[in-house]
Amino acid sequence: MNTYKLIGPFKQVLPMTGLPLNGALKDEQLNVLEGEMGILLQGETIAKTGDFDRLLNEAKIIGAEVVKIEGDFVALPGFIDSHTHICSSGSRARDYAFRNSGKTYLEMAELGGGIWYTVTQTRNASQKELEAGIAERASRHLSEGVTTIETKSGYGLTVDEELKMLRAIQAVNKKHAVDLVATCLAAHMHPKDFEGSKTEYLEVISSQLFSILKEEKLANRIDIFVESGAFSPQEAKPYLEKAKAMGFSITIHADQFSTGGSQLAVEVGAVSADHLEASTDKEVEILAKSNTIATALPGATLGLGCAYTPARKLLNAGACLAIASDWNPGSAPMGDLLMQAAVLGAVEKLSNAEVLAGITVRAAAALELTDRGTLAEGALADLAIFPCNNYQEILYQQGKLKPAMVYKRGQKV
């Protein structure tokens, strides 16, 4: 499978290389390859990008397959969605309707909706049923150019039910073209049927589940929802420290409705703090001074009709900003990463470079993946190819312009 393949010509190729990981970006910093450009693949990876005719000559010498495309196309690295909950069962359309009639997200939970409703539905689903749901959503994402998807557990909330979710994620990861990165979110909420305190619940999870995650290679990442209705920073800290000591990477659902989570994320050295809709200038500063990546989830803003993450302020202060969909049945049912990123860009006044970096190279950093998110030599040959002659069309059309072709690990999907 180490065969060469030349694809092109493209009107533009955006390799997304050479960009700083932190802070504001201008479009002029994008290294846009223009003219008749080609991408030479070697098996699953990128061998070279450059002038199409020159690569065509090389292709003839090395016997590469040539995939000639007719028309106007722009190629980017496949998108990376660094925060989703696509392993779940059931709809929360009722919650959505109630919320839009004036009830809050937290009131909905008290009325039998909210995360707990999805927990009951997910517990009732078999592992195979969960796999089918993940595969369906992953296929939709892949067709929209998303080639790597972080996927959380968190609707099981017992050792066995969390294992069922994570095994479903890994089963789909093995058979689906898309790459799934699993995260254990057993600390999504204090389960209503757990007899014991929040701290006792976290103790059960960390002592009984973490070692199995390692043994079965089910997840290397631990997440927790730090919020008044879920876990306080004080409850979360020992749990996360234990996870870190066992070698897990940490990510936190932080500052969604109230602050505290992002500061904890920085204190425990979390790779990312996600949500941040409630972050104030203080949290922006704390995040910007740290190595913790700030992840905006505009899908949750659109789903809940609440504030946007202060993305502009975070970037201006020097933070690394990733943008993810948060695709889940409760707060972010849409699951359209590109549309949401484009809208965040329009509202928060982000450059094309900032938005596109947020769903490629900076999202890869949020998952600690160094082999994707750019079209650098040796990176995975994951491509989102759009039918246009200028990359600016992509965000301008706010998600309506879909990729004409998607390549995953060198294969057209």
**Contact footprint for ligand NIG (CB under 6 A):** 85, 115, 118, 225, 253, 256, 300, 326, 328-332
Nearest C-alpha neighbor of 369 from the set 264, 249, 262, 253? 249
262 binds, among Fe ion, ligand NIG, none (CB under 5 to 8 A by kind): none
Question: Quick check: 30 and 357 in contact, CB under 8 A?
Answer: no
User: Least CB distance from residue 161 to Fe ion, whole Å?
Assistant: 18
Site string for Fe ion, 317-356 (x = CB under 5 A): ---------x------------------------------
118 binds, among ligand NIG, Fe ion, none (CB under 5 to 8 A by kind): ligand NIG
User: Least CB distance from residue 118 to ligand NIG, whole Å?
Assistant: 5
Compare residues 37 and 115 and give the one whose CB is closer to ligand NIG: 115
Q: Quick one: how far is CA 31 from the chain centroid?
A: 24
Nearest C-alpha neighbor of 320 from the set 398, 373, 268, 371? 373
Site string for Fe ion, 105-144 (x = CB under 5 A): ----------------------------------------
Q: Looking at residue 396, what DSSP letter applies? A: H
Size of the site for Fe ion (CB under 5 A): 1
373 binds, among ligand NIG, Fe ion, none (CB under 5 to 8 A by kind): none
331 binds, among Fe ion, ligand NIG, none (CB under 5 to 8 A by kind): ligand NIG
Location of structure tokens 């517990």: 123
The residue whose Cβ lies closest to ligand NIG is 330
d(CA 408, CA 235): 40
Question: Quick check: 290 and 22 in contact, CB under 8 A?
Answer: no
d(CA 6, CA 25): 31
Question: Quick check: 68 and 39 in contact, CB under 8 A?
Answer: no
Compare residues 206 and 256 and give the one whose CB is closer to ligand NIG: 256
Compare residues 156 and 329 and give the one whose CB is closer to ligand NIG: 329
User: Least CB distance from residue 404 to ligand NIG, whole Å?
Assistant: 31
Strands 383-386 and 74-77, sheet pairing: antiparallel
Please give the structure tokens belonging to residue 275: 């949500």
Which parts of 312-390 are beta strand (E)?
321-323, 383-386
Q: Quick one: how far is CA 408 from the chain centroid?
A: 16
User: Least CB distance from residue 29 to ligand NIG, whole Å?
Assistant: 31
Compare residues 8 and 133 and give the one whose CB is closer to ligand NIG: 133
CB atoms closer than 10 angstroms to residue 282: 11
Which 350-389 residues touch Fe ion, going by CB under 5 A?
none
Residues that bind Fe ion (CB under 5 A): 326
